Structure 1
Amino acid sequence: MSNKNHLINPRPPSYGSIPSHGHPQGDIMEPRLSLPPAFLVKVKISTSGVLTLLLVGFTEEIVRLVWLFYALEDASTGNDVYQDFLIAYWLGLGWATAEAIYFIIQNFIAVRWYKEEAGLNGPYAEERLELEEILGRPLTKVSAWWGVMWRVTWILAHIGFSCWIAFESILVYPAAMVHGLLHVVWGYCLPVFGIPTVSYVTLVLTLAMFLIGLALFGLIV
């Protein structure tokens, strides 16, 4: 068979051929899929670290359950669903506010590490490296906008969790699981998938949790 009856492969490393077995156009070229190294994303996961983060989420929701139990018991004046919602709402908002104040203080402390140290050999070098490993970049390179979005995300999450548990105490289990998984996502997925992806995905998820909490009390349809 002459060369005119063959399909010429301009990129031999990326393609191969299979026998034509009498095909009128000669050998049939079969593409070979080769992914660049950028697609081979590896997430380093520590079993003990994941279990610790899940335990943190579970513990926080147990504490929330106890607070709601006593708050709803003290304010009980019958089957007042709206009052129960207000208690859950203010508990979630207060929890998120206290958490926001704590992290703002922590961020100011972390920023001082960069201002006081020109290199990575100072007394806070290890803390800086750990923080940069979580964020995937230096803290000074993170826009303040992302910090605002993260606080809004956790406001929605805490109000949502409070509404779930205030409506039915058995919902503490899914709330604890979701809360723990959010910690795992922030701890392991942030440096891999990047701040924008993780931030927007968690914002959508916590918004859904917030809306579910409102729906449980019949405030939205």
Structure 2
Amino acid sequence: MHLAYRYPLFLLVGFLISFASSSQTPKIDSLKKVLASLPPEGRSYRNDTIRMLVLCELGKESIGKKITPCIEQAILEANTIGWPKGIMVAYFHHGRHYGALGSYYRASQSLFKALSVSERLQDVQMSSKILLNLGNFYQVMGNAVKGLEFHLKALNYARNIPDIKLKLLNLIGTDYVRLSNYSKAEYYLLKGRKLAKLYGNKTYQVVSLYLCLP
């Protein structure tokens, strides 16, 4: 059976990237080689899907830089082939990119588009990541109440995702500190410290303890 049909697309792309990187060339050059090896778009749904994923990887490598044509091309590819998960992932990275550039309003627009798809797909992990980022961006934009609202909603999705839950407990604690609600802040920060201790995360244990100090 052909490799493309034996493995999920994300694993296939990972394999191609690893193979292209075997000569110790920089990751971005390896990704470009993978992209160049694909047949022209429109030939097959599977190849177009792989192209979109590789473009997203290229976009991730350029996060924080001034130009991100790769992510925008990934959005176009995902919409062209009508792949909801691809659209969600592409808009997520598009939002993170503009957030890294400090364009928080534009970043939030892309994240809202990603969120509409993730909630439709009932993808709790992506929904929690998107809402976590939205909460961070709204905090930076000075809307502490809305930022907290997004973080609390993200926590609801991340109940069974320990690493994201741990981040959110600490973020929500600091959100409440900004709002001068210290009893709520202490509640969430101590919950975060307890979870960090359970999973052996010393960094979050120290951060949570420090923030709880008077």
* TM-score, normalisation: structure 1: 0.24
**As a proportion of its length, which structure holds more helix?**
2
Find the structure with the greater CA-based Rg: 1
TM-score by length of 2: 0.25
